[in-house]
Amino acid sequence: MGDTPRAGEEVTTVPHRTFYPRLVDATSQYRRDESRRAPAAEGGLLLFRVGGVPVLLAPSWWIGSLIIVVLYTPLVSRLLPGASSGMSWVLAAAFAVLLGLSVLAHELGHCVVALRLGIPVRRVRLFLLGGLSEVARTPRKPGQEGLVAAAGPFVSILLAALCGLLLLAVPPGGPTWLLVAQCAVANLAVGVFNLLPGLPLDGGRMLRAGVWALTGVRAKGTKAAVFGGGLVAVALLVWALWGLAEGSEDRWLRLGVCVVTAWFVALGASSEFAAEGRRGWPDGLEVSDLMRPVLQLPAESPVSAALSASAGRGVVLVRADGVAAGLLDEPSAQRLAAEAPHAPAEFAAEPIRAETVLLLSEPGDDIAERVHEVASWQFLVVDDEGRPAGVLHREDVRMAMSGHRRPTR
């Protein structure tokens, strides 16, 4: 590349290098490994892994289980009049565990189907009175969302049916019969409740998928399912208050479960609505409309000369061996240039990581989702063959999606 140019001299650009295809390969590997990105220690106790996806037990699950045991114990005494106090506590604890296992089976149904459809899953978590399969990418088709959502209730109802058949072979009235009945009821409750048509429940996701398929607009499905989530939360509270007014035997258990679940549904619905607003890519906007032109410069270029040459463009700094040193970080470069203008621009480079490389062919919603999730202010955009196409700034994406402006480069 010759001698290092002095500040003010024209900086020699370098041709496209072979590190770009490697970055595309790394980006593909990043997407395949997204399910492993969440450390097992984050979110609770690691129970096991399914297809590389960590299954975690959150600390709040113990609190929820304790509430179930305390509220369910008096009900066991009524269902089994001859049961001692100790037996009632044991059976109530068994019910809490069975409910947790029912939720776990439900979430594993989501997880396995998502993985089979090529949708990465970060982790599966059990918490308080529920569970969550955290997908790393929004399904790109309504059919995919519908299948993933339906998998959980299908598993729960199937297990409820199997337990119902097992009841036919167990003598009625004893502790074993009650445990099997508890398992049947727990799975049926988990399956049927999750079919209610409101986010964040599976029925809400199925409703969103249906509206999305009919209208072609995912946001319309989200709005319908968020409204459904609000109705579900209100219905839960009404049912709990009805139990108190009627003096039903399970009124306190019903009140505790319904209040916590209504809060969970309302919070989840509002989160889904906010997330939809963050990923709504404006109609007619192309990624190329937001990209800044990209310039490749030798990594040993003086930082002051690299700043002058950039002229509002994104700058990829390339070492002599053809490996990218990173993207020029303008704020760092300006500080370095003020102190040592002849220092190599590589000293002010932001490393190019797989998660900061975007494919030009990616859907706008996926790009918006990635830009929101990854802690970086600029992203390198490459075409499908790995050639640099431009640099995307987080602020440009944010302002374009907020409707303040639509930059053209």
Give residue 243's Cα distance to chain centre: 36
pLDDT at position 13: 55
Residue 86 identity (one-letter amino acid): G
Mean pLDDT on 22-51: 59
pLDDT digit string, tens, across residues 351-381: 888 888 888 888 887 788 788 778 888 999 9
Mean pLDDT on 153-175: 91
DSSP-derived secondary structure letter, 8: T
pLDDT at position 197: 93
Which position has the higher pLDDT, 116 or 11? 116
Mean pLDDT on 192-219: 93
d(CA 322, CA 344): 16
d(CA 106, CA 191): 8
CB 162 within 8 A of CB 186: no
d(CA 275, CA 268): 10
H or E segment and range at residue 318: strand 314-318
pLDDT band at residue 321 under the 50/70/90 scheme: confident
**25: helix, strand or coil:** helix
pLDDT digit string, tens, across residues 220-253: 999 999 999 999 999 999 999 998 888 887 788 7
Beta bridge partners of 131: 126
d(CA 183, CA 156): 10
* CB neighbour list of residue 288: distance below 8 Å, 6 or more residues apart: 360, 389, 390, 409
Centre a 10 Å sphere on the Cβ of residue 131 and count the other Cβ atoms it contains. 25
Q: Structural domains in the chain?
A: 19-28+284-401 (3.10.580.10), 44-279 (no CATH)
**pLDDT greater than 70 at residue 79:** yes
pLDDT at position 215: 93
CB 134 within 8 A of CB 122: yes
- Token match 């309302």: residue? 266
Half-sphere exposure of 46 (CA within 13 A, CB side): 13
Lowest mean pLDDT among 107-111, 269-273, 342-346: 269-273
314-318 and 324-328 beta bridge pairing: antiparallel
Lowest mean pLDDT among 72-76, 223-227, 336-340: 72-76
**144: helix, strand or coil:** helix
Confirm whether pTM is higher than 0.85: no
Tokens of 73: 């114990």
**pLDDT greater than 70 at residue 34:** no
- C-alpha dist (Å) from residue 133 to 120, 122, 125: 10, 8, 7
**pLDDT greater than 80 at residue 281:** no
**pLDDT greater than 80 at residue 88:** yes
- C-alpha dist (Å) from residue 7 to 225, 239, 328: 59, 75, 16
pLDDT band at residue 42 under the 50/70/90 scheme: low
Mean pLDDT on 146-165: 95
Mean of pLDDT over the chain: 83
CB 265 within 8 A of CB 201: yes
pLDDT band at residue 27 under the 50/70/90 scheme: very low
pLDDT at position 30: 46
pLDDT digit string, tens, across residues 94-129: 888 888 888 999 999 999 999 999 888 989 999 876
pLDDT at position 227: 95
pLDDT at position 8: 43
Percent above pLDDT 70 for the chain: 87
5-17: buried (b, 16+ CB within 10 Å) or exposed (e) per residue? bebeeebeebebb
CB 188 within 8 A of CB 157: yes
* CB neighbour list of residue 50: distance below 8 Å, 6 or more residues apart: 108, 111, 112, 124
Beta bridge partners of 56: 46, 125
